[in-house]
């Protein structure tokens, strides 16, 4: 699917749309097939034991799929998550950033769907899988 | 299902097992059919616009269903979330705590399943639905 | 939520909308809180081993939640399933019908959400849990 | 992940393990990264309107991910589906077979997870997405 924003525009949008997590995420790569987003893991993202908590993996998938959709439909800060499904498959590695590889699977008139595989940096076995649906407000599609 | 902990013991376990969110959650009610957990909403739980963010609703469901299971099998801090499915159905009310009503649906040898409906306090229309699966370590079931 | 059809009207709608499964399902009860639907289990619904197959439990949940929504918005045969999440928790009892207890959780302008617990008749431990989302065509809501 | 069965062995296993759907499915390709399974669409798989029904797409994903796991762990006819999540994104094309492209994401001691994208043959936009979890009996892993 054609892109409406390049990587720098998307990074700027990310900071504006999610000021509460500014600096947590970085856009590693963006093309028509895939968006790669990094969670820069800090102490505050961890559970006791040193691995990234479920809510922070949820946030990575949710923010990542959301901005992957927005990269295609443009600056519309109003789409809302309506469904999320996640499988937590392995314990993330301690001390490693998380890398989410994201695909947009559907971009419809009222619904958009994407999925993500999340990895600990440096390990090619996914730690989590997520799929999310967003409801797109009527004005968003022009 | 019979309970292994009463409400006070469960509240104590909650603070021990999740020190990073100490004070965020309160146990409102616990019996054999249902656990009711409150998220005491603070500024840090909100998105721009003033409503509770998705990751915080995820955390409420995850912590709530987890401790509902532990209330039945006893103090085993090792069960891990393996699957989560959520529907976000309405925008939470600004300025209201969230109340999760939780049921344990299965308590098996290796897997436990529960679900939750989440409400803004004072409104009987659910804002979100969650179902979660936990893998129980072999020693946990005695 | 107020009902637009009573039990007999809903039974008639079920036969019209799903002729390919005519006779498989029966409406046991319908009120503003709950719809109860029976799958009359026949040889063709079974896996080797004699228990109802996953696709037939999926069909029970999907048809049941769909008609629970239609009971509230009236005869609109066009809503489509957009998301389904199921937990299969116990093996259904051999030789028993399945009973689905269904709630409508959200009835919005474009999306409706419901969930179901499925039981083997005569056993109060659920064999499966399902939640489903339907997209409602614009004309449906008047 | 290394394969324990080649394509012909897997096709033979499919017919033995699912005699009730014999002839419905064909294995198009199998390697360490992906399994491709075809649903040979017949009149009985269709809804009124001529598109493949939800339960048949569920069956394609469930059978496909199941045999993709078995291709890696060998002939163990006992793994059971514990969780399924699906997004139905587009109406399947009338008169076209469905093609499922399946990945195994986790192969653990007690749980295995896979996902699938389902296409109408000849169209590269997915009609559905599925992820499924299977519980593996203790003896299966040798």
Q: Using the beta-carbon criterion (under 8 Å), do B48 and A82 form an inter-chain contact?
A: no
Say if the Cβ atoms of C105 and B87 lie within 8 Å. Answer: yes
Instruction: Give, in order, the Cα–Cα distances in Å from C25 to each of A135, C22, C36, C63.
Output: 32, 7, 10, 9
Three-class DSSP category at B129: strand
Q: Which of C82, C114, C130, C135 to mutate to test the interface with A (most CBs of A within 10 A)?
A: C82
Which residue among C59, C85, C89 sits closest to D55, beta carbon to beta carbon?
Answer: C59
Helix, strand or coil, per DSSP, at residue A110: coil
* Confidence at residue D44, expressed as pLDDT on a 0 to 100 scale: 83
Residue contact C105–B133, C-beta within 8 A: no
Q: From the centroid of its chain, how far is CA D134?
A: 12
What pLDDT, on a 0 to 100 scale, did the predictor assign at position C95?
87
Mean pLDDT across C85-89: 98
pLDDT at D77: 57
Q: Round to whole Å and give the CA distance between A80 and A66.
A: 9
**Residues 6+ positions from B124 with CB-CB distance below 8 Å:** none
For an interface test with B, give the residue of D84, D108, D135, D136 to mutate (most B CBs within 10 A).
D135
> How does pLDDT run across C5-26, given as a tens digit for each residue?
999 999 999 998 888 788 899 9
Lowest mean pLDDT among A99-113, B63-77, D31-45: B63-77
Using only C-alpha atoms, chain C has a radius of gyration, in whole angstroms, of: 14
Q: What is the pLDDT of residue D133?
A: 98
The H helix count followed by the E strand count for chain D is: 2, 6
The shortest CB-CB distance from B54 to any of A54, A58, A89 is to A58
In this prediction, residue C142 carries a pLDDT of 42
Identify residues of A whose CB sits under 8 angstroms from chain C CBs. Answer: 82-83, 85, 110-111, 133, 135
Chains touching A by CB (3 or more pairs below 8 Å): B, C, D
d(CA A105, CA A131) in angstroms, rounded, equals: 10
Nearest CA in chain A to C83: A83
Angstroms from B109 CA to nearest CA on chain D: 11
Q: Which residue has the higher pLDDT, C75 or D133?
A: D133
- What pLDDT score was predicted for residue D75? 81
Under-70 pLDDT residues of chain D: 77, 139-142
**Number of H-type helices and E-type strands within chain A:** 2, 6
- Average per-residue pLDDT in chain B? 91
pLDDT at B142 over 70: no
Chain C residues with a Cβ under 8 Å from any Cβ in chain D: 19-20, 47-48, 53-56, 58-59, 62, 80-89, 91
- Give me the residues paired with residue B35 across strands: B30, B102
How high is the ipTM of this complex?
0.93
Q: How confident is the model at residue A109 (pLDDT cuts 50, 70, 90)?
A: confident
* DSSP result, B13-80: HHHHH-GGGTTTEEEEEE-SS-EEEEE---GGGBPTTSSB-HHHHHHHHHHHHHHHHHHHH-S-TT-E
- Report CB contact under 8 Å: D105, A90: no
Q: Find chain A residues with C-beta within 8 A of D131's C-beta.
A: 85, 87, 129, 131
Query: Which pLDDT belongs to residue A142?
Result: 42
> Contact B132/A55 with Cβ under 8 angstroms?
no
C82 with A110: Cβ contact below 8 A:
no
**pLDDT-based confidence at residue C139 (cuts at 50, 70, 90):** low
Q: What is the mean pLDDT of the segment spanning A131-136?
A: 96
Is residue B117 within 8 A of residue B132, CB to CB? The reply is: no
Residue ranges of chain D whose CB lies within 8 Å of a chain A CB? 83, 85, 87, 89-90, 105-106, 108, 113, 115, 117, 125-126, 129, 131, 133
Predicted local confidence at residue A19, as pLDDT: 83
3-state secondary structure of D63: helix
**Residue range B59-66: mean pLDDT, rounded:** 96
């Amino acid at each position: 699917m054609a892109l409406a924003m390049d990587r720098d525009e998307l990074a700027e949008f990310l900071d504006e749309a999610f000021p509460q997590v500014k600096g947590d995420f970085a856009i590693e790569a963006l093309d028509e097939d895939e968006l790669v987003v990094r969670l820069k893991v800090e102490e505050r993202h961890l559970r006791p034991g040193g691995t990234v908590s479920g809510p922070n993996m949820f946030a990575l998938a949710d923010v990542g799929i959301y901005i992957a959709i927005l990269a295609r439909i443009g600056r519309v800060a109003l789409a809302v998550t309506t469904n999320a499904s996640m499988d937590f498959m392995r314990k993330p590695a301690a001390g490693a950033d998380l890398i989410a590889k994201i695909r947009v699977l559907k971009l419809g008139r009222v619904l958009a769907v994407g999925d993500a595989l999340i990895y600990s940096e440096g390990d090619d076995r996914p730690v989590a899988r997520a799929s999310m649906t967003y409801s797109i407000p009527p004005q968003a599609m022009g």
